[in-house]
Structure 1
Amino acid sequence: MSAYPHLSSPVTIGNITLPNRTVMGSMHLGLEEHPQGFERMAAFYAERVRGGTSLIVTGGIGPNEAGALTQGGATMTSEQDVEKHRLVTDAVHEAGGHIIMQLLHGGRYSTHPDLVAPSALQAPINCFSPRAMTAEEIESTIVAFGEAAKLALEAGYDGVEVMGSEGYLINEFCSPATNQRDDEWGGTSEKRRAFALAVTEQVRSALGPDALLSYRISVADLVPHGMSVGETLELAQQLEPLGVDMFVTGIGWHEARVPTIATSVPRAAFIDFTEALHSVATIPVVATNRINTPEVAEEILSAGRADLVALARPLLADPEFAGKATRGEGDRINTCIACNQACLDHIFAGKVASCLVNPRAGRETELVLLPTRTKRSVAVVGGGVAGMAAATSAASRGFAVTLFEARDSVGGQFDMAMRIPGKEEFTETIRYFLGELDRHGVTVKLGAQATTNDLENFDEVIIATGVSPRIPALPGVDLPHVASYAQVLRGEHTAGERVVILGAGGIGFDTAEFLTQKGPSHALDAAAFRESWGITEDPTVPGAVGKPQAVESARAVTMLQRKATKAGAGLGLTTGWIHRAEMQRRGVRTMVGVQYDEIVAEGIRVTVEGEQQLIEADTVVLCTGQESVITLAHELDALGRSYHLIGGAKLAGELDAKRAIREGTEVAAAL
């Protein structure tokens, strides 16, 4: 019997029976607009099907030019489009899976000059402002959805999904926040729903009775004046008779000021909204958002809160998620940590999506780990994520690998990151690598400071010795109340009640969150998280959201930054606002354009705008950058010994786990 019997059981949707209940949810990959994108996309999706995923939903494809997400973005409007997409559908079908294409009109989220919307209201996350659609444009757009659905079938898709969520055009029509029309397409809740119903009816007519029709429905807009949950349930009950086979739930608009898919969001934090839809729907309902382990998925399904689960980023992290779950190998899954750094941040920057913990994602045809023809010995020095990625990847190819780690545990910077409230998921990456080190027979030597003598008999040497905190040349830096971020996070220095943090980059923000946390982390308590961010399940509240609460802080913290730019300017594209909002809610004071003069017993003397002042503090924490640890590399240079340098040892900069794991995998692939 499977360890996850509900997740691994078959289910019928429309006329399709799936062998299990894992769906790859829609996620734009950036390959849709790439010159060789469709070949790479075919390989990407096929690998997920071979890994056990039963149904693929593509990233959003525009039904017309106005609906494209970007200038020249992906659309389904011509025979040329059909031919490109056949590469993808053929690959998925040959791998034994099913695939449907998501039809998405960007509305006011489209980043091109010709964007349109129900009303001429600019999105706060878009530099372009839309014009209001005319009645004729609305009618022609409805027709365009139907024509695109026909072309999707011609391209070999098993059906389509209508994107009615996340703040795109259809969702914009449904919501009073973005629909201020007073004609037949707006003014009342029923009229605002008319566009969604008309599109769905047109698409079902175009598909015929046999193809699969999915509708992604926003069960919680999480924006002021958005649709209420009650209105969403009414919409769902009107959509079903039009021939929808499956609902996939969507949570939050892209402009929502509530975290929805970041690592600080508890697992399955929004399942109550999906359950509310499931209670009124008579067709299968698919749960989404922060479902990243088979245990969470099984719990949802066994409790009858949904019929299937949609995973997007977790299938970037591990294409074999479903297969491993079915085989009872859940402990071997490379868990998505919801960092967004290589997936969503890439997409919103116009890059191809990948994955921090799995750099092969999106590069299946480029980054290949082939079996070695000659079994050579490889030494990897450093047990951070760069070293562990190199060691496991090399060992998977058949090399004899020994990993040296100077500390008594592996993890490196991740060992500190996982201690930050809201980053508990980082423990999963260490767990995964530990399992892979053991499975591939890597010899792990802990508490072993590798020397040149230790490396003498290895055929290849990989240096992944990471970084150490940079200690600035500042008077008073050696006083007893001064500590590095590493000492604080590892519990080697206990901070007082008043703390000054030097540095307001990513490490400074993480350290501030660590020091201000009082009580259990909200990332581990869904109810506390929802209450904290003002999320409500009251079916009458517009947008299902109110005002976030202030958070009681454990300490009084001040963050200082030398640069005059905004504090945290270099934080993640899609998560930086969350960290800044947390600091504000916790009462953390930030000062920029600060000159550090001298650390004294009472705190630190600084100069701001030409005036010197004393900021009183019991503890001063140094988040003033990092330096590469490369002593061993220099010693090997002196001996004329070759080696490979990766991760923080190669370039300190900002702590960049994405680059570290990628370089570790790449160097192993190139051996």
Structure 2
Amino acid sequence: MTHYPNLLAPLDLGHVTLPNRVLMGSMHTGLEETKDWNRVAEFYAARARGGVGLMVTGGMAPNREGGVFPGAAGLFTAEDIANHRVVTDRVHEAGGRIAMQILHAGRYAYGPECVSASGIKSPISPFPPKELDEAGIEKQIADIVTSASRAREAGYDGVEIMGSEGYFINQFLVRHTNKREDRWGGSYENRMRLPIEIVRRTREAVGEDFIIIYRLSMIDLVPDGSTFEEVILLAQEIEKAGASIINTGIGWHEARIPTIATSVPRAAFTWVTKKLMGEVGIPVITSNRINTPEVAEDVLSSGAADMVSMARPFLADADFVAKAAAGKAETIAPCIACNQACLDHTFSGKISTCLVNPRACFETELMITPTERQKSIGVVGAGPAGLSAAMTAAERGHKVTLFDRAEEIGGQLNMARVIPGKEEFHGLVDWFRTMVADLGITLELGREIAAGDLDAFDEVIIATGVVPRDPGIPGQDGPNVLSYIDVLRGKAPVGDRVAIIGAGGIGFDVAEYLVHEGDSPTEDLDLWREEWGIGDPSETPGGLAPAGPQPEPPARRITLLQRKSEAPGKRLGKTTGWIHRAALRMKDVKMMGGVNYERIDAEGIHVSHGEARENPTLIEADTIVLCAGQLSDRSLADALETAGVNCHVIGGADVAAELDAKRAINQGTRLAATL
């Protein structure tokens, strides 16, 4: 008896039956652009072996002008088709099915040749698009249909036509970007002509025994977006045109509302998809922030969709479905929706991977193979670096003992998980705990380790992390000054007026922690929707609440300070930094850069501005919190080196600057893979 009867139920599409209701949604990984087709094939084949019902590739450009960036991958030549055949053959050998996403970026294309319905520049691109004439539109349709035909020739089981997220097709659908007055603009009948023609001609070109997924924007989250009446009408017409499945798209990329970050509640938009259920006769897929089998099962059992799309959870764990089916869901490496190694990499031109699983997209490079000789390995420090090293070493067959001075594993993850919006870190620590036990690692907590305690080990790994940096501010020893560690561990009361010293990631986290009181919006969907101003597309075109964002009042008055003269928060995550900055602005947090910390007294902190130390200012505060950076805790490593003991130093103990769990886990995994 399965725990997930709906999730693991087959789905009949007529000419083919999928083994379960799980779609691995499209992700642009950058792998196709490497032109290492064995590497691309292994990435998808690993997920096929893991049991996913159907996969969708990252977006393939139908032509040069439609590529997300210059040189974007697509099926343009016979050589391209042959290369993609390497991928599809490998997937089919692994027992999987795969569809190719056709993605025309329209005005989102990062190049001067971009085209769209109208010549309106996107706020997230420097290039104004060329408004297409009739012949230009026909060319785009023909190129998309040709791309689908080539996908079939390359062995794909289907295609997904990207009609959401504000890309090319979406740009024709809404008045926000379509100002045309010909047969492709004006009335909704005219504006939806493009997607209908694309799907109809694609079905004619590929035949009946080929999957066509249409990605439909259920809620645009931009002004003058689609009404839900229009969404239903389009879905019905897309079904008539020959689509096999309708997949859910949420929000345009330019929307100022988070849709897939960790602070977004789980399954936050499934209510939108549920509104379409019963309006069409083909299966409907829901998506966004579904990251466990339990959440997926609940979504399906509630009637919100026929199938669920999970993308990044398959970066975190290729065996997601197989583990769920085997009753081992607790061993699934969790996607925490941090964006740090996936989307941040994509938008920085790097190969995507996963903070939790650095093997993702590196399957042919980072090999975890059984050891030829078992060693006794001591790991000191049970934060992310030490945990990943210990787990990888144990997985390879080494005998591992993991030490930590704290009474629980997790290191600084235990502080991260108390931040409102970072509740996913609870699951990450739980997973580490499960895997430590599952892999037979000897765990010794609450123990301070000295150099002499490690003599018996063949290999020693030091992952002792970091200590707070001393900013050296006169008066910082006063009773109104706290370390971020004391605050996040709840060891001391915090006043109503707070000055935070340091506006890096920890400073922003502390501010988020202190401005909230009561339920976290991430744990309360209604509260979260109010905070960000998300309405109902049945009532407001595009789904923006008429009143705009309505956050809860801040629990405290906070001033966030930094020495750097740049804008506070500038160095936060590429795809999530704007969310953190916007969230604090909505809570009236004052942010100041380019300040000098002159002294702290009972009234607050005295600062000056610029190199000339001008404009002395008192920032009145009941509590000052120090988040002024971190230093490596190398005391044990230094003692070992002095004693002539060779050790490996990883994580924050190695380099404290810009420390994050992504680098720590990657470093620990890669080290242990070589021992």
Q: Tell me the SS of whatever aligns to 2:453.
A: coil
CA contact (8 A) 1:485 1:511 kept: yes
Partners of 2:230 and 2:350 lie apart in 1 by 36
Correspondence 1:479-494 to 2 at 5 A: 479-494=478-493
Q: Residue 429 of structure 1 corresponds to which residue in structure 2?
A: 428
Distance 1:244 1:292 in 2: 27
Q: For 2:452, what is the secondary structure of its paired residue?
A: coil
Q: Which residue of structure 1 aligns with residue 25 of structure 2?
A: 25
- What are the equivalent positions in structure 2 for 1:222-233 lying under 5 Å apart? 222-233=221-232
TM value normalised by structure 1? 0.99
Q: Which residue of 2 aligns with 1:524?
A: 523
Is 1:16 aligned with 2:16? yes
Aligned residue in 2 for 1:641: 645
Contact 2:530 2:551 in 1 (8 A): no
TM-superposed deviation, 1:404: 0.4
Measured in 1, the distance between the counterparts of 2:606 and 2:592 equals 13
Paired letter, 1:371: P
The residue number in structure 1 matching 2:34 is 34
| Cα distance in structure 2, aligned partners of 1:550 and 1:266 | 15
Provide the secondary structure at the position in 2 that maps to 1:101.
strand
Q: CA deviation at 1:302?
A: 1.1
Q: How does 1:239-638 map to 2 (within 5 A)?
A: 239-546=238-545, 547-608=548-609, 610-638=614-642
The residue type paired with residue 201 of structure 1 is R
Distance in 1 of aligned mates of 2:601 and 2:86 = 66
Q: Deviation digits for residues 192-227 of structure 1, max 9, x if unmatched?
A: 111111111111111111111110110011111111
- Measured after TM superposition, the shift of residue 337 of structure 1 is 0.3
1:534 deviates by 1.4
Query: 2:498 touches 2:621 (CA, 8 Å); kept in 1?
Result: yes
Q: How far apart are residue 538 of structure 1 and its match?
A: 4.3
Q: 1:427, 1:524 → 2: CA distance?
A: 13
Amino acid at match of 1:410: I
2:448 aligned partner, one-letter code: Q
In the alignment, is the contact (CA less than 8 A) between 1:78 and 1:151 conserved in 2? Answer: no
* Stretch moving more, 604-613 or 455-464: 604-613
Secondary structure of the residue aligned to 1:453 is helix
Over residues 317-367 of structure 1, what are the superposed CA-to-partner deviations in whole Å (9 max), with x where a residue is unaligned? Answer: 011111111111111111100000000010011111100000000000011
Residue pair 2:606, 2:617 contacting (<8 A) in 1 also = yes
SS in 2 for 1:670: coil
| Distance in 2 (alpha carbons) for counterparts of 1:484 and 1:4 | 45
Please tell me the residue identity of whatever aligns with 2:373.
T
Q: CA–CA distance in 2 between the matches of 1:611 and 1:655?
A: 33
Is 1:154 matched up with 2:158?
no
The one-letter code of the counterpart of 1:595 is N
Please report how far the alpha carbon of residue 35 of structure 1 lies from its aligned counterpart in structure 2 after TM superposition.
Answer: 3.5
The 3 A distance-change label for structure 1 pair 540 and 601 is closer
- Cα distance between partner residues in 2 of 1:517 and 1:190: 46
Number of the residue aligned with 2:668: 664
Secondary structure at 2:214 match in 1: strand
Shift of 1:372: 0.5
Query: Secondary structure of the residue that 2:435 maps to in structure 1?
Result: helix
Alpha-carbon distance in 2 for matches of 1:454, 1:8: 49
Q: How far 1:279 moved relative to its partner?
A: 2.8
Q: Please say if residues 532 and 551 of structure 2, whose CA atoms lie closer than 8 Å, have aligned partners that are also in contact.
A: no
Give SS of 2:454's match.
coil
Letter of the 1:599 partner, please give it.
Answer: I
Could you tell me how far apart the structure 2 residues matched to 1:287 and 1:15 are? 22
In the alignment, the residues of structure 2 paired with residue 239 and residue 167 of structure 1 have an alpha-carbon distance, to the nearest angstrom, of 18
Q: Shift in Å at residue 655 of structure 1?
A: 2.7
- SS of 2:278's partner is helix
Amino acid of the residue matched to residue 602 of structure 1? E
Separation (CA, whole Å) in 1 of partners of 2:244 and 2:494: 56
Name the counterpart of 1:64.
63
Contact 1:150–1:207 at 8 Å: present in 2 too?
Answer: yes
More moved, 344-353 vs 544-553: 544-553
Residue 92 of structure 1 is matched in structure 2 by 91
Q: How far apart, CA to CA, are the structure 2 residues paired with 1:294 and 1:215?
A: 24
Q: For residue 105 of structure 2, what is the aligned residue in structure 1?
A: 106
Which SS does the other structure have where 2:123 is aligned? coil
CA distance in 2 between counterparts of 1:655 and 1:424 reads: 20
Residue identity in the other structure for 2:558: V
Deviations 1:436-484 (A, max 9, x none): 1101100010011111111001000111100111121111111111111
The residue number in structure 2 matching 1:130 is 129
Maintained 8 Å contact 1:77/1:147? no
* 1:234 equivalenced with 2:230 (yes/no): no
Q: Write out per-residue CA displacement over residues 374-394 of structure 1, whole angstroms, 9 at most, x where no aligned residue.
A: 111000100001110010110
Instruction: Specify the code of the residue in structure 1 equivalent to 2:60.
Output: I
Percent identity, aligned pairs only? 52
After the TM superposition, which parts of structure 1 deviate over 4 Å for at least 4 consecutive aligned residues?
A: none
- SS of 2:143's equivalent in the other structure is helix
8 Å Cα contact 1:230/1:540 also seen in 2: no
Equivalent pair of 2:25/2:311 in contact (CA under 8 Å):
yes
Give the whole-Å Cα distance in 2 for the aligned partners of 1:455 and 1:127. 57
Distance 1:98 1:594 in 2: 57
**Is 240-249 or 122-131 further displaced after alignment?**
122-131
- Provide the secondary structure at the position in 1 that maps to 2:370: coil
Task: List gaps (5 residues or longer) in structure 2.
Answer: none
Paired letter, 1:2:
T
Tell me which amino acid in the other structure corresponds to 1:615: I
Does the Cα contact within 8 Å between 1:518 and 1:552 map onto a contact in 2?
Answer: no
Matching residue's letter, 2:410: G
Shift of 1:304: 1.6
What is the count of residue pairs matched by the alignment? 670
> Are 2:226 and 2:537, in contact at CA under 8 Å, matched by a contact in 1?
no
Q: CA deviation at 1:77?
A: 2.1
Q: CA deviation at 1:500?
A: 0.2
Three-state SS of the structure 1 residue aligned to 2:254 is coil
For the residue of structure 1 that corresponds to 2:359, the secondary structure is coil
TM-score normalized with structure 2 length = 0.98
The answer as to whether partners of 2:119 and 2:129 remain within 8 angstroms in 1 is: yes
